[in-house]
Chain A
Amino acid sequence: MSDATAAPPPARGEALLATVTPRQLAWRRFKRHRLALVSAVVLGVLYLLALFCELVAPYSPQTRNVAAINAPPMGIRFFHTDGFHLRPFVYGYDMRVNPDTWMREYTPNVGKRYPLRFFASGDEHTLWNLLPSTRHLFVAEGGYIHLFGTDQLGRDVFSRILYGARVSLSIGVAGVVLTFVLGILFGGVAGYLGGITDRAVQWFIAVLLALPTLPLWMALSAALPVSWSPLAVYFGVTVILSLLGWPYLARQVRGRFLALRQEDFVIAGRLLGAGRMRVILRHMLPNFMSHTITAATLAVPFMILGETALSFLGIGLRPPVVSWGVLMQQAQNWQVIVMTPWLLLPGLFVIIAVTAFNLLGDGLRDAADPYNTGGLE
């Protein structure tokens, strides 16, 4: 036993592992989640569209096209009667009122060919309320283009979905940021101080979680004064969503905090003589943020769904504000759903965004586990 052995043989895959940082390792683990990766891209595109909705949308959300009321989606085409065209185009509609049902019926007219012009002039808009412009990503020259059809006032559904994305997607993030602040504050304080404070916060959280969420949301939203400006209502709804969402996050934060405090490396830090600040900043926070970001990602869908639900019921955001929930108000009766099913498209976007956030959260959760070497070991 007395002869000291040489250094042990290297671990398998060490050559590869040796050179990467924890962040790179997390990225490796994340990349293995194809769905999470795709979701990240989808969300990136959605948020870009929302950010530049004035440019991307061919119309302003209130522009009415009386020539196309309740018109179905128009397809982008490349083949005309005379063959292939490099410049895409759409066919304008011929409308006739069905004498039996009194419904408008639209048929594409090959004679009304509207070629698409990119970065051309269209409706006036003010990007981010700062830069007035008339440029749009695409406009239909000499006619109109409604990729997702129009509603009963002749407004372009595609444009309205983009403007709605800005409100719905940003409310999700704003709500989560606020939830985050409250959750980390309460959860962290409870987890760190322990004792009476912990029990008081725990009790408070238990009570909040026991309240039925939907009726409470409704009651609080209904209490928002009708006279408030759209912006005030927007913030009001955000606050309401966060007020009821933070207990979940606070619970997770607290649990994570308690668990981390028991981790050997945190105890090791304390035993080395590290002060509170060093233990928290150097050992706990870096190992804590990844989990919290995951929790936050998984919380965004609740916010988006909350806004949609409230607005759909008419007690959240109200017209003329455009959000996905507001848009879906139009699809509240079966007649609309049968005759103009494209008015349900905002719902599809809600589903896409919510699913993408959930999948992204799953990927992040796995990537956040520092002991998982991503199949490299």
Chain B
Amino acid sequence: MNEGAPAGAELLEVRGLSKFFGDVAAVERVSLDLARAETLGVVGESGSGKTTLARCILRAIDPDAGSVRFNSANGWTSLHSLKEKELVPLRREMQMIFQDPFSSLNPRMTVQQILEEPLLIHGERKRGKRVAAVREMLSRVQLGADALTRYPHAFSGGQRQRIGIARALMLRPSLVVCDESVSALDVSVQAQIINLLEDLQAELGLTYLFVAHDLAVVRHICDRVLVMHRGRVVETGTVEDVFERPRQDYTRLLLSAIPSPDPDVPLKPLDRATLNL
């Protein structure tokens, strides 16, 4: 984990990242920097390459060009040039929270099995330690210990997303990529999950790469934003800068698509009115 690392120290450096599917450039020459304990939002319309970017960074898919450098416990490492095997120790440091709370959990494993798998993979032989770690994480994501023996089908969408979050955090990563991690949930559940993500960030010093198309959520949770359009970065800056003083037409278009809140309907618990929208 990142104890002792100076706050604000760089964690991730992406340069000129490109990924092509056939002739289509899903991601084209994307560069970004991410500091520890920071939250960077990635926004853009559907098909703009957000998921592809997130997956290239974590090497879920191999990028075609560019570099991804990660500041791990052992100093800077170039992820893009590592073999799958060499990547394994680094997997402890970066994890992903998925969009679909249904397909992201193996339907044939119990919660206990799902949560202890990361520990097994990374060589924790003692069953007692694994069980203790799983229980601790379960309480962190506010699920009861009775969840352990159940299978994913026995949970609601929000509960499953908590399990997905717990799995991602079992290895105590420093970088967590959230790809639309709340967009499949009901609005009230969304707010709970966002609160949870924020609490966990504060407790564990997490760094988020937060992919979303709900700009209100991004504005609420992120420090900086990166706007993507057709695989390219069109604008990047702090949340205030981008939301208040967008420099690009595309960003303005994107922002204009945010529904203005109805003053008669209190939007709880994610209160958009207090977000000046």
Contact = CB atoms under 8 A, between A and B. Distances in A.
Contacts of B87: 273
Given A4-B196, A268-B98, A370-B153, A11 B159 contact: yes
Q: Size class of A's contact patch?
A: 35 or more
Contact of A22 (B60, B146, B153, B171): B153
B117 A10 contact: no
B270 A287 contact: no
A239 interface: no
B108 A273 contact: no
Contact of A272 (B91, B99, B109, B269): B91
Q: Size class of B's contact patch?
A: 35 or more
B117 A373 contact: no
Interface stretch (A134-142, A162-170, A259-267): A259-267
Contact of A263 (B58, B91, B103): B103
B122 A373 contact: no
Interface in A1-36: 1-8, 10-11, 14, 17-18, 20-22, 25
A2 B144 contact: no
Main secondary structure of the interface of A (DSSP, over half): loop
A164 B150 CA distance: 47
B199 interface: yes
Interface string B237-261: 0000000000000000000000000
A8 B118 contact: no
A370 B60 CA distance: 24
Interface in B258-276: 269-271
Given A271-B58, A271-B96, A8 B271 contact: no
Contacts of A370: 107-108, 153
Contact of B142 (A6, A270, A286): A6
Contacts of B195: 1-5
Interface string A220-249: 000000000000000000000000000000
A146 interface: no
Given A2-B195, A287-B106, A274 B153 contact: no
B60 A267 contact: yes
Interface string B200-232: 000000000000000000001000000000000
Nearest to A285: B108
Nearest to B89: A273
A2 B198 CA distance: 9
A219 B180 CA distance: 57
A283 interface: yes
B116 to A, nearest CB: 11
Contact of A18 (B122, B150, B191): B150
A1 B270 contact: yes
Contact of A1 (B118, B143, B220): B220
Contacts of A283: 106
A268 B88 contact: no
A124 B87 CA distance: 70
A22 B107 contact: yes
A11 B154 CA distance: 8
Contacts of A1: 191, 194-195, 198, 220, 269-271
Interface in A168-204: none
Contacts of A373: 153
Contacts of A7: 142-144, 159
A371 B269 contact: no
B189 A268 contact: no
B100 interface: yes
Nearest to A3: B195
11 contacts: A1-B194, A4-B196, A8-B158, A25-B153, A269-B106, A271-B95, A272-B91, A272-B118, A273-B89, A278-B121, A370-B107
Interface of B: 55, 58, 60, 87-89, 91-92, 95-96, 98-100, 102-109, 117-118, 121-122, 142-144, 146, 150-151, 153-156, 158-159, 164, 167, 171, 189, 191-192, 194-196, 198-199, 220, 269-271
Q: Kindly list the 5 A-B residue pairs having the minimum CB-CB distance in the complex, ordered from nearest.
A: A370-B107, A273-B91, A11-B156, A264-B104, A273-B88
Given A1-B198, A275-B88, 7 more contacts: A4-B142, A4-B196, A21-B151, A264-B104, A271-B91, A272-B171, A273-B87
Interface of A: 1-8, 10-11, 14, 17-18, 20-22, 25, 263-265, 267-275, 278, 282-283, 286-287, 370-371, 373
